[in-house]
Amino acid sequence: MPALTKQQAAEVRERFGTPSYVYDREALEAAARRALAFPAPFGFTLRYAMKANPSHGVLTLFRELGLHIDASSDHEVERALRAGFAPAAIQLTSQMPSPRLPEHLARGVLYNACSLHQLESYGRLARGREVSVRMNPGLGTGSTKRTNTGGPASSFGIWHEYLGEVQTIAERHDLRITRLHSHVGSGTDPEVWKRCTRMTLDLAAKLPDVQRINLGGGFKVGRMPDEPSTDLVDVGAHVRAELTAFRDRDGRALHLEIEPGTYLVANGGSVVATCVDVVDTGRDGYVFAKLDTGMPEVTRPSLYGAQHPIEVLGDGGEEADVVFVGPCCESGDILTPAPGDPEALAPRRVRRPRIGDLVVVGGAGAYCAAMSTINYNSYPQAPEIMREPDGTLRLLRRRQRLEQVWENEV
Q: Look at residue 274 and tell me whether its pLDDT is greater than 60.
A: yes
The candidate with the shortest Cα–Cα distance to 120, out of 168, 187, 49, is 168
CA torsion, ordered 230, 254, 184, 294, to nearest 10 deg:
50
- Bridge partners, 134 (sequence order): 181
Q: Is 165 left (phi over 0), alpha (psi -120 to 50) or beta?
A: alpha
Superfamily for the 25-265 domain: Alanine racemase (3.20.20.10)
Q: Look at residue 114 and tell me whether its pLDDT is greater than 70.
A: yes
How far is 386 from 280, CA to CA, in rounded Å?
A: 36
Per-residue pLDDT at 155: 77
pLDDT-based confidence at residue 2 (cuts at 50, 70, 90)? low
Q: Look at residue 12 and tell me whether its pLDDT is greater than 80.
A: yes
pLDDT-based confidence at residue 183 (cuts at 50, 70, 90)? confident
Does residue 229 contact residue 213 with C-beta atoms inside 8 Å? no
Compute CA distances 129 → 39, 261, 405, whole Å. 30, 29, 44
Q: Look at residue 147 and tell me whether its pLDDT is greater than 60.
A: no
Q: Provide φ and ψ at 180, rounded to 5°.
A: -125, 130
Q: Look at residue 152 and tell me whether its pLDDT is greater than 80.
A: no
**Domains 6-21+266-406 and 25-265 fall in the same CATH topology:** no
Q: Is residue 114 annotated as part of the catalytic site, yes or no?
A: no
How far is 154 from 139, CA to CA, in rounded Å?
A: 10
Per-residue pLDDT at 184: 76
Per-residue pLDDT at 41: 96
- Helix, strand or coil for residue 323? strand
- Length of the chain counted residue by residue: 410
Q: What DSSP element (H or E) covers 385? A: strand 384-387
Alpha helix ranges (H) inside 37-153: 56-64, 74-82, 101-107, 116-125
- Arch. (CATH architecture) of 6-21+266-406: Beta Barrel (2.40)
How far is 89 from 69, CA to CA, in rounded Å?
A: 6
- Residue 346 CB-density burial (10 A; 0-12 exposed, 13-18 middle, 19+ buried): middle
Q: Helix 74-82 crosses helix 56-64 at what angle (to 10 degrees)? A: 60
The candidate with the shortest Cα–Cα distance to 257, out of 206, 209, 202, 217, is 217
The candidate with the shortest Cα–Cα distance to 320, out of 349, 347, 291, is 349
Per-residue pLDDT reduced to its tens digit, 345-380? 999 999 999 999 999 999 999 999 999 999 999 999
Does residue 137 contact residue 143 with C-beta atoms inside 8 Å? no
Per-residue pLDDT reduced to its tens digit, 197-248? 999 999 999 999 999 999 999 899 999 999 999 999 999 999 999 999 999 9
Domain ranges within the chain, ordered by starting residue? 6-21+266-406, 25-265
99 contact partners, CB below 8 Å, separation of at least 6: 74
Per-residue pLDDT at 351: 94
Q: Look at residue 149 and tell me whether its pLDDT is greater than 60.
A: no
Per-residue pLDDT at 128: 98
Q: Check 196, 328, 329, 368 and give the catalytic one.
A: 329
Cβ atoms < 10 Å from Cβ of 218: 30
